[in-house]
Chains A and B, each alone.
Chain A
Amino acid sequence: MSQTVFNHESDLTAELAPRSSASQDLIEAPLIVIEPARRFSSAWIREVWTYRELLFFLAWRDVKVRYKQTALGMIWVVMQPLLMTLIFTVVLGMLARVPTRGQPYALVVYIGLLPWTFFSSAVTQSVASIVGNSNLITKVYFPRVIIPAASVLARLVDLGVALVVLVGLLLYYRVVPTWQILLLPPLVVLIAVLALGFGMLGAAVNVRYRDLGVVLPVIIQLWMFLSPVLYPASLVRDTWPRAYTAYALNPIAGIVNGFRAAILGQPVEWFSLVWSIVFTPLIVGASLYIFRRVERSFADVI
């Protein structure tokens, strides 16, 4: 077939069209074909790419709107993790004396809360995102995956601010990072992708079964205690060495361990981290597949 490229200003090209429709006597292939049972395709990936600006706009809207009409505005982004750290330090660090192998508990819990707060809020927000944006879903088309992805992206801004606060804490505790700090950026990418995986899956389920929105806070709470957030993973390994393998199957465990290792220069616990690296693409692939399957009914069900 002829590979005629569109000659108008559109930034989409004929490549978006499936090449199999050449059987008809047409000069050009259609730009868009609407049929039941669209499948995952390179055309879809291209389309998501053309809508990348919308991803940033929606994330920017999330960030912007959240702190409008709050007296302290962006200061809350800084205060939230610090207040949490203070509370846990008093209760768990000073009263319950969670063993931290000589590290200051405040620093241990702050670094644990960094990835966890990001992950839990990103998942919670993206699960609610499709239902929350039903006005967009029923009125305009764009690749639906943009919506949960924007929710995750918006939370990365908070994580960024929390990392700046971390620099202050490290100075205060006179901790000098080692070369391992270079592990931090890939770990951030890993946890963002993992959050997107769970977020997309949850968002797709939540459109049909709103029960998820109700039970999610409970799941998140439980999940936090099953992850090395408020205590170092070494505590589990020292207390119940045989249970540690099962414990480390929680994909968050490896990443939180990784954050502490990267920032504090401790030895990396590879078993849990490698598992997280293996698990993340699996969950993203599976949830993308499910999301793509059910997204066509979003406008009808929502």
Chain B
Amino acid sequence: MRTMITAKEVAKQYRVGGSNLSYRTLRDSIADAASAPFRRRAAAKREPVSIWALEDVSFTALEGEIIGIIGRNGAGKSTLLKILSRITEPTRGRVELYGRVASLLEVGTGFHSELTGRENVFLNGAILGMTRGEIARKFDEIVAFSGVETFIDTPVKRYSSGMYLRLAFAVAAHLEPDILIVDEVLAVGDASFQKKCLNKMSSVSQQGRTVLFVSHDMTAVTRLCPRAILLDRGHVLRDGPAHEIVSAYLTSDLGTTAARSWIGEAHAPGDKVSRLRAVRVRNEDGLVTDTIDIRRPVRLEIEFEVIEPGHALAPNFHVFNEQGVNLFISNDLDPEWRSRPRPAGVYTSTAWIPDNFLAEGTVIVGAAVSTLDPVVVHFFEREAVAFQVVDSSDGDSARGDYAGPYPGVIRPALKWTTQYVPAENAKEPEAMRA
């Protein structure tokens, strides 16, 4: 089997803080130069802070392998993809790519709303590295795949967002690189189209292509990728069969953190309206815990700050299981604050998940604060906290006296009722009972 990618001790340093936070103006540079003689005293304040987004990442990928790259936010997944797709350069280390690379960090890169579908297919194809002849050859196939034949000569600004995404993905799905790098783009589109794309992607690797796939969707990773690499704080933590890595990830303390706080952090999720302060999992006694008895209720708590007053905000939780299946979403329905503009301040909202409702296993909680009409998501921390639901199998949980494997995404203890007809009466003809 041919080696397609070798990455050796790849490291990437970003400078954050200081004046490098965003672009500089000439004034900043002049100010820096002018203050240079006094630098020693000012150094502590002005010195930009460096962070290593990646440190010594090494791996090899063979021809035809599909590798899922997983890890928490900030683990370095996106940085790794950006280096492999040559968008940014590593600070140290070396990557060798034995073939043509195409990267899909987003669908529809370079799409222009004024241009027609047809024009955008050619433009986008060229941006992704296809030649004009190649695009022309595959054009009919691309259009058929997208299902927007009727509108192909209409400017894409008249497209619905669904049509736009389908056309954009159709172009991407017809790339024929030796190495394909995909970042979370499957999170878009409707379910049936997603499935079509997943199928297209798996057929890509059956033709001998190597695929690197970053996702938060553990179901997609285990379904698509035989192999997974788990990144944590810029390091390769584990590398091996996807199902093992995924479950290791979800059950490790990377996966379960009952409380996280962003208080005082410069990069807390949020915008000018609201910022996240903390998310906590508590048991019914109010103790922060990452282990919950299946027979007891769970309190999910979100603490957030309202900076700009006057918005009607709805905190909401997005609850996932370890396969990445969204179990449910819950919006704050507290009548006191519902649809009411909030004054600035710190709020703590609690949602109660009933007892005997969640299934055993890891539960991952995403926390968000949104304005609902019109929809503005002020922040959404996809994997804010996680906890374990345990069933001690004492006989009084939903599983009763059965101790074996017990599938199902939720495990409600339903109310059962029984109607009993004694044996002698049951022998009566059907008509008599009515």
Contact = CB atoms under 8 A, between A and B. Distances in A.
Interface of A: 6, 8-12, 21, 26-28, 30-36, 38, 51, 53-54, 57-58, 61, 64-65, 68-69, 135-142, 207-211, 296-297, 299-302
Contact of B96 (A8, A30, A38): A30
B25 interface: yes
Nearest to A8: B178
Given A28-B98, A140-B127, A34 B87 contact: no
A222 to B, nearest CB: 18
Given A54-B126, A141-B103, A32 B86 contact: yes
Nearest to A136: B110
B127 A65 contact: no
A31 B88 contact: no
Interface string B164-195: 00000000000010100000000000000000
B89 A65 contact: no
A211 B26 contact: yes
B109 A32 contact: no
Contacts of B132: 53, 57
B77 to A, nearest CB: 15
Contacts of B122: 57
B91 A36 contact: yes
Interface residues of B, number: 50
A140 B104 CA distance: 8
Given A68-B114, A69-B114, A299-B88, 7 more contacts: A10-B178, A30-B96, A31-B100, A38-B89, A135-B110, A140-B109, A209-B23
A32 B177 CA distance: 13
Given A8-B178, A53-B132, A32 B96 contact: yes
A17 to B, nearest CB: 9
Contacts of A140: 85, 87, 103, 105, 109-110, 127-128
B94 A33 contact: yes
Interface in B283-301: none
Contacts of B110: 135-136, 140
Contacts of B98: 28, 30-31
A33 B95 contact: yes
16 contacts: A31-B97, A31-B99, A34-B95, A34-B96, A35-B94, A36-B90, A36-B93, A53-B132, A57-B122, A64-B119, A135-B109, A140-B103, A140-B110, A141-B101, A211-B26, A299-B87
Contacts of B338: none
A51 B125 CA distance: 12
Nearest to B102: A140
Given A54-B126, A208-B23, A35 B90 contact: yes
A34 B83 contact: yes
A206 B105 CA distance: 25
A210 B115 CA distance: 29
Contacts of B2: 27
A209 B89 contact: no
Interface in B53-96: 82-96
Given A32-B86, A135-B109, A207-B23, A21 B29 contact: no
Contact of A65 (B93, B103, B114): B114
A54 B128 CA distance: 9
Q: Which 9 A-B pairs have the closest CB atoms?
A: A30-B96, A141-B86, A34-B95, A32-B97, A57-B126, A68-B114, A211-B26, A296-B89, A299-B88
B112 A65 contact: yes
A209 B83 contact: no
B106 interface: yes
B24 interface: yes
Interface string B17-44: 0000001111101000000000000000
